[in-house]
Amino acid sequence: MDLRSLWPRRILTLVCGLVWSTACGDDDGAGGGTTGGTTASSTTASSTSSTTTGAGGEGIGGAGGTGGDGAGNGAPSRLTAAVDEALVELAWSSPDPSSGNTVVRVVRSLNAPPTGPDDPNVTVVYEGEAEAATEPTSALLPDMPDAPRTYHYAAYGCTPARTCETTGSSTTLTLTLTEALVGGGYNVIWRHASADVCSDNLSLGTVATTTTPDWWKSCESNCAVATARQLNATGVMEATAIGQDLASLGVPFGRVLSSEFCRNVQTAELMNLGPTIEESLEITYFVYDEANRCTNTQTLLALPPSPGQNVALIGHAGFVCPVLESLAWGEAAIYKPDGSGGSELITRVLWDGWMSLP
């Protein structure tokens, strides 16, 4: 038995101050008399965060020293960041109100810690008196081998007049590609699945010149009379597998756009992503505006999806267009709209690569 538990608290406090010094802290503030910060780390199923806190203040019985992160400097403590579906969830312990810092400012920076609460290069995620906040994962980009991304969060204690201390509490977070897609905000464009049954009869002309209306929409697979190329058995398997894998990962789609060619519409149907399939003139091969198909497709890829959702597009190769011209059957390219009329290529994924994503 620890005899200290039987002594009156005043005697214990006095003895701790005279004899045990730093060894007599409370259970949740052990070592409060020490100086220097501590680092803790936590790992979710797929994202990783680490937390670093400022120097703990000196004190009797662990005062101001929980986890080595005291409120003596008016800083928040125990900042954590974790991904939960479409949100980054942030939590912290508020500063000791006796410090005068009753407001917490949480900021975020990419690939380097913030230099302080007023760093002009950070994003202010939250400012107020609560002990938790969230932001959508769509505000972040995933960590990729060719584009490493670590987000640094820091929480600072501030006065109501917004004068802030500079020690703070900090943590880091990396977002996986799967977490990013589950959170929404991406446009994913596929080339239709494998299709080598029959061929496109381009001699029938464009929509402006043809005498055989909608020949490109035909799903006829008897090549003696077929007017357009169709999926083969492998293509049916590929499209079905893509949809099943995306459903297993929990990737949400708010819209599905498809070329009007039957092989594209059938690819979208077999993927079964949820929304009603919208046939799009802009991504349809040959018959509408082939000269501008690349530009029109890139315009669609730059449009932000609805919050928490992604957009699927089922198009073609067969044109001069960066990245899209070289997609294999069933391969996808993932783009993130940049909010300025463009989009950023995140990566490419083969039809059987979805379950291997980080």
Residue 134 is which amino acid?
T
Residue 115, domain member (yes or no) = yes
Residue 28, domain member (yes or no) = no
User: Do 45 and 127 sit in the same domain of this protein?
Assistant: yes
Residue 8, domain member (yes or no) = no
Residue 58, domain member (yes or no) = yes
Residue 31, domain member (yes or no) = no
Residue 298, domain member (yes or no) = yes
User: Do 210 and 337 sit in the same domain of this protein?
Assistant: yes
Distance CA 285, CA 206 (A): 10
User: Do 240 and 94 sit in the same domain of this protein?
Assistant: no
User: Do 189 and 170 sit in the same domain of this protein?
Assistant: no
**Strands 151-158, 103-110: parallel, antiparallel or unpaired by DSSP?**
antiparallel
Q: Which two tokens stand for residue 224?
A: 């003696």
> Domain holding 257: CATH number?
3.40.50.1240
Nearest to 54 by CA among 30, 34, 77: 77
User: Do 129 and 206 sit in the same domain of this protein?
Assistant: no
Q: Give first-to-last CA distance, the chain, whole Å.
A: 49
User: Do 167 and 311 sit in the same domain of this protein?
Assistant: no
Residue 281, domain member (yes or no) = yes
Find the domain containing 104 and state its range: 38-177
Domain end among 159, 177, 195: 177
> Domain holding 108: CATH number?
2.60.40.10
Q: How many domains does the chain have?
A: 2
pTM (predicted TM-score): 0.81
Domain end among 155, 177, 199: 177
Within a 13 Å sphere around the CA of 168, how many CA atoms are in the beta-carbon half? Answer: 25
User: Do 196 and 324 sit in the same domain of this protein?
Assistant: yes
User: Do 201 and 336 sit in the same domain of this protein?
Assistant: yes
User: Do 241 and 337 sit in the same domain of this protein?
Assistant: yes
User: Do 202 and 155 sit in the same domain of this protein?
Assistant: no
The CB-based long-range contact list for 258-261 (8 Å cut-off, 24+ gap) reads 258/283, 258/313, 258/314, 259/192, 259/283, 259/284, 259/285, 259/314, 259/315, 259/316, 260/214, 260/216, 260/217, 260/284, 260/287, 261/192, 261/200, 261/216, 261/217, 261/228, 261/229, 261/285, 261/316
Q: Other CB atoms closer than 10 Å to residue 121's CB: what's the count?
A: 10
User: Do 128 and 81 sit in the same domain of this protein?
Assistant: yes
Secondary structure of residue 238 in the 3-state scheme: helix
Distance CA 223, CA 344 (A): 40
What per-residue confidence (pLDDT) applies to 63? Answer: 31
Strand-pairing partners, residue 312, are 188, 256
Q: Mind giving me the DSSP string for 243-301?
A: HHHHHHHT--EEEEEE-SSHHHHHHHHHHT-SSPEEE-STT--STTTGGGHHHHHHHHH
The one-digit pLDDT tens for each residue of the chain (358 residues) are: 443 343 343 333 333 333 333 333 333 333 333 333 333 333 333 454 544 444 333 333 333 333 334 445 899 999 999 999 999 999 999 999 999 999 999 999 999 999 999 999 999 999 999 999 999 999 999 999 999 999 999 999 999 999 999 999 999 999 999 999 999 999 999 999 999 999 999 999 999 999 999 999 999 999 999 999 999 999 999 999 999 999 999 999 999 999 999 999 999 999 999 999 999 999 999 999 999 999 999 999 999 999 999 999 999 999 999 999 999 999 999 999 999 999 999 999 999 999 999 9
Residue 13, domain member (yes or no) = no
User: Do 88 and 215 sit in the same domain of this protein?
Assistant: no
Domain end among 137, 160, 177: 177
